[in-house]
Structure formats: C-alpha cells, structure tokens
Amino acid sequence: MSIDTALLELRRLDDLAAQDTALHRLDARAKVLVTLAYLICVLSLHPYAVSRLVPFAAYPLLLALLGEIPLGVVARRAALALPFVLFVGVFNPLFDRTVQLHLGPLAVTGGMLSFSSIVLRSLLAVSTGIVLVAVTGFDQICRALGRLGMPTVFLVQLQFLYRYIFVLAAEATRMLHARELRCAPGTRPTLREYRSLLGCLLLRTLDRAGRIHQAMLCRGFQGQMPEQRPKGRFGAAEWRFCLAWGLFFLAVRIYDLPTLLGALAGGLLR
C-alpha cells in the first residue's frame, strides 16, 4: 500500500467518527477508559492461553456493530499491522518446543501457542484501537486523555502528530516521486538514499516546526492549548457503559469462559 492510500484510509476513519450514533455520542472518556481496561486484560493473559482470548473479541465486534463501522474497514487496517506482528512472533515455535497439548495427531508446542497468542492479541488490540478511533475521533480521544490527566505536552504532541502526518507524508511522497523520476524504473531506494531522504525530511520537518511555533506565538501562544468546546458530561450512560464492560472483562479475565462453556456443553451431551 502506498503512502497516499494509507493516508486516505486514515481519513476514512475521520468520516466514520463524524457519524451520530448513541455510541458516538458517549463521552470519549468512557470509551478510552474501557479500552484501556480491555488492553490491560488482553495483554496480561498467559502466553499459552489462546482460547481465553476468544471472548475478548466481543468488545471490538460489538463496538463496531453499535457504531455502524464496516468490519471490512477495520480488518483492512488491522491487516496492516500483521507483518510486524508475524515478525515479532515468528521465532517462538523454533525456540519453545515443549509439547503442551495434542489436537488429534498434532502435537501443539508452547512456541506455537505463544505465537498464535501474540498474533491474536495484537490483532485484537489493533482492531480495538481502530474501532475506538472510528467511534470517537482522534481529536476527541486526545481531549479525553487530557481530561483524564495526560500532561499537555504529550497531548499537544499527539494532536500535532495527527494534524501534520498528512503534510509530512505529502512531502515524503513528493521526494520519493522526484527520486523515482530520476532512476531506472522499478529500482528501490538504497539504504544510502533512504538515509539522505530521511535526513532531508527531518530537516524540513524541523523547519516547519519552527514556522508553526512562530505562527502560534504570533497568535498569543503561551504554552497552554486553549480549550473552546463545551465539555461533555460523564453521565448515567457513561457509567453504565463502563460498568457493563468492566464486569464482562473481569469475568472473562478471571474465569476461563471457553473451557467452562466447553465443559458445560460436554456435560449436556453426556
């Protein structure tokens, strides 16, 4: 995927975030808090506990459903993270060869389990992040983090990152294009070329940062980003959202729901 397409995809999330569903209207803090709790629960599970991850898929799925977010959009973006995730976990099956369980004739090693757990967990985390942006909007997430106590410095960094990623990417695309036009077709930039392209991009970015800072100073900036919008209320709906999901996460974190259900189903069959 080219930089252009990746950015267009990112903008699509903004459009989705502009929708008006009950979930979109919910105070962003509730969604951010619940998502944080979700990530802690998912990421703290034992590396071999693959089946226990399954119930956690309910959160992003239900959020996408309620927020009218097409699952295809989420899947496409989540797939972007897949190569990185695969790279992180790819050596696990080679190192950890202790057999943990047998699926019929197949002996499943600890490495295979932890590899699938890494992939599954990352996909869950990434798609939940994407769904959160699509039902809340990046800007609102930043504001929510600010109201939850994140220091302004980090907050402004995040907001600027999102604002200027498009400008920066446009500059990078232009530079790559200019390089392509002067090269034999199909040749990829060498490491050396990448080095000078990146260096150039860094210098331009620093220049731009200087100009933006100047523009901010010209309009009275004194280190604090002003807040204009009326602040949302953390009302009954937000509490309900937090409580319901909180209880669900606790339940699936403490109890091995799939095994329990399996045992129950087994008992019924017998």
Interacting residues with other proteins (CB under 8 A): 11, 14, 138-139, 142, 159-160, 162-164, 166-167, 208, 211-212, 214-222, 226-230
- Cβ-based neighbour number of residue 185 at 10 Å: 6
Closest distance to other proteins from the beta carbon of 215 (Å): 5
- What are the structure tokens assigned to 53, written together? 């991850």
Smallest distance from the beta carbon of 6 to other proteins, in angstroms?
14
Token output for 95: 């190192």
- CA distance linking residue 92 with residue 109, whole number of Å: 10
The DSSP code for 107 is E
Is residue 261 classed exposed, middle or buried when 0-12, 13-18 and 19+ CB atoms within 10 A define those classes?
exposed
Smallest distance, other proteins to C-beta of residue 138, A: 8
Nearer to other proteins, 100 or 205 (CB): 205
Decide if 83 contacts 16 (C-beta within 8 A).
Answer: no
Phi, psi (degrees; rounded to nearest 5) at 37:
-60, -40
Amino acid at 40: I
Q: Toward other proteins, which CB reaches closer, 108 or 216?
A: 216
Phi, psi dihedral angles at 108 (to 5 degrees): -95, 120
- 163 HSE (CA, 13 A, CB side): 11
Nearer of residues 111 and 146 to other proteins, judged by Cβ: 146
Task: Supply the minimum distance, in Å, between the C-beta of residue 74 and other proteins.
Answer: 21
Cα atoms found within 13 Å of the Cα of residue 58, Cβ hemisphere only? 13
Q: Which is nearer to other proteins, 211 or 240 (CB)?
A: 211
Amino acid identity, position 246: G
Asked if 118 contacts 89 with a C-beta cutoff of 8 angstroms, the reply is yes
Q: CB–CB of 123/85 below 8 Å?
A: yes
15 vs 87, which CB is nearer to other proteins?
A: 15
- Amino acid occupying residue 259: T
CB of 177 to other proteins, least distance (A): 18
Nearer to other proteins, 171 or 193 (CB): 171
Return the structure tokens found at 85.
């995730």
For other proteins, the closer CB: 170 or 261 = 170
Min CB(145)–other proteins separation in Å: 14
The least CB distance from residue 227 to other proteins, in Å, is 8
